[in-house]
Structure 1
């Protein structure tokens, strides 16, 4: 297992990490029970994974509770825990959002469910446009100083949200976000326009959620063998598929590369992400042990330059404004973060 620094911090995380959205679920995302959770954790530990990701909202706290019950017999000492706060955890007017009241209360509730003294990486799970950012960032800074969390991070922020939060933290000398947990796949490459260049410039690492796009990029579904049941056909909206033709073009290449290596399409999709700039860890979750063991093999899959070129080409998005204008007029004055975005388009 490869271990990578998380943003501008000294913390090293495994290139693959474990997600827990199936823990305690009713079956819509999987139905991992305690004994299966412990077995999955043990398999991940055996493969060198040192980060397990959860959130207070996953199954209304059940995922955190199950983690707390599963991390026995020294497992907690071998793992970093990542959790999140923002979404509703009750019916009251203050039971959601990123106010000081909600953040601190929910951090303390998560600690109780997780049966631990500290959360290693604590994410604000989504933007809150009603709470002043200085209140949110100060609350996270307070939790760090109290020893209840070690690092602050964000998830699902736009670039201006993230940059504003970093500015607030820097001006007040508060703890700044060391990571951003984002959706990033071969089909969904929007993060490459701003979030990843921003991360390079500001030292904010990337953790990737839903790297297989809810199963669409696993290779088992194609234009000729579409899913007949499950969340893909039950109205689940993450991620939205705006261009079905492009999705199947990408899957065709995924399966072509997978066939050449004798591996699953899922491993190819994960391996492509693992070689992208700034990606510290890719979060994998599984409905079954077989799925988990297959995904773990992505850590050792080496894609050739030709493989990467094929995958890049079929999935490359069109440049939106102002980037196409910069491409036409500004390539003589581009810095590292600019070139990270523009290099694949230069000369095209």
Structure 2
């Protein structure tokens, strides 16, 4: 297993980050235990979760994933120091979490304590803002005209960001979190937090996790370049496009128990004719190379300049082993050229 430094922090994280959002709905405690134990045996030291999970989110499953990890930690206290544990505070709009209120300093103080309790730990290595208070161009809102940036009250937004920073600093001083990061944010979000951190002598963000995969490369090159030069770890989530890049959903297929058979909070926005055709072509390339479509997609993300660690998830041990093995693969220049040719034909299929 290879490791990278987590942005400007002192933490070294595995190039594979174990995602957990299926634990508590598609996976139970036993499944999660098995996945965690296997991941650690393969050298993975980085686990990502969130108070919102399990996914698809609901009031019934809120906090269950953190509780499952906490149950494992309670039985493996000696392994806590080996882990880099990341979790996230939910943003506005989820009615059963703080009545759908936006993130503020007070909510961070409470949410950190709640996550610590569920996780059965004294500290969180990386605490992330799951999405910003303003509407950001993520979750299929990246097309022109879908977000009106000029409608945002910049002064009000910046004031809110400073309030958030001050609360995060309080948690760091108290030893409850070590570092903090962003999720589903933009270059403006990153740079505004960096500026406020410098101006007020507060902790800087060390990471951002955004969706990034062969079907969704909108962060390249501008946001990724920003991360590289500002020493922000870039953590791709959904590197398989919610399972689409495995090929299992091609031409409308819906395997029993798969994620796309569950109600999706934002709908199946990744399921477009263009994405379907692109997946067929990537699947054909994978077969030609003698790897699985999932391994092709993960190996491609791993080699992108600026990527620190890729967040993977699995519902079965077979999937987990397949996905982890992808990070042992080295794509040749010829293979990258073939993949790039498909990417140029389908640069933004959803």
State the secondary structure of the residue aligned to 2:208. strand
Alignment CA distance shift 1:188-1:37 (3 Å): same
**Distance in 1, Cα, partners of 2:31 & 2:347:** 44
**Distance in 1, Cα, partners of 2:263 & 2:228:** 35
Of 177, 189, 204, the residue aligned with 1:176 is 204
Q: Do structure 1's residue 227 and structure 2's residue 232 form an aligned pair?
A: no
**Distance in 1, Cα, partners of 2:187 & 2:288:** 38
Q: Do structure 1's residue 251 and structure 2's residue 276 form an aligned pair?
A: no
Q: CA RMSD in A?
A: 2.3
Alignment CA distance shift 1:51-1:161 (3 Å): same
Alignment CA distance shift 1:89-1:139 (3 Å): farther
Residue of structure 1 equivalent to 2:17: 17
Shift of 1:312: 2.0
- TM-score of the pair, normalised by structure 1: 0.83
Shift of 1:166: 1.3
**Distance in 2, Cα, partners of 1:253 & 1:49:** 31
Task: Name the stretch that deviates more: 178-187 or 129-138.
Answer: 129-138
Alignment CA distance shift 1:275-1:173 (3 Å): same
**Distance in 2, Cα, partners of 1:242 & 1:232:** 10
Residue of structure 2 equivalent to 1:54: 49
**Distance in 2, Cα, partners of 1:317 & 1:189:** 13
Correspondence list, 1:171-210, <5 A: 171-210=199-238
Native 8 Å contact 1:214 1:239 kept in 2: no
Shift of 1:260: 3.2
Native 8 Å contact 1:103 1:139 kept in 2: yes
**Distance in 1, Cα, partners of 2:326 & 2:34:** 20
Shift of 1:89: 7.6
Native 8 Å contact 1:183 1:211 kept in 2: yes
Residue of structure 2 equivalent to 1:323: none
**Unpaired stretches in structure 1, ≥5 consecutive residues:** 321-348
Shift of 1:48: 0.6
**Distance in 2, Cα, partners of 1:205 & 1:297:** 22
State the secondary structure of the residue aligned to 2:170. helix
Shift of 1:238: 6.6
- TM-score of the pair, normalised by structure 2: 0.82
Alignment CA distance shift 1:125-1:18 (3 Å): same
Q: Do structure 1's residue 274 and structure 2's residue 276 form an aligned pair?
A: no
Of 36, 40, 44, the residue aligned with 1:45 is 40
Residue of structure 2 equivalent to 1:79: 83
Native 8 Å contact 1:54 1:64 kept in 2: yes
Q: Do structure 1's residue 289 and structure 2's residue 294 form an aligned pair?
A: no
Paired residues, number:
312
**Unpaired stretches in structure 2, ≥5 consecutive residues:** 54-60, 135-156
Shift of 1:257: 3.2
Of 162, 181, 185, the residue aligned with 2:190 is 162
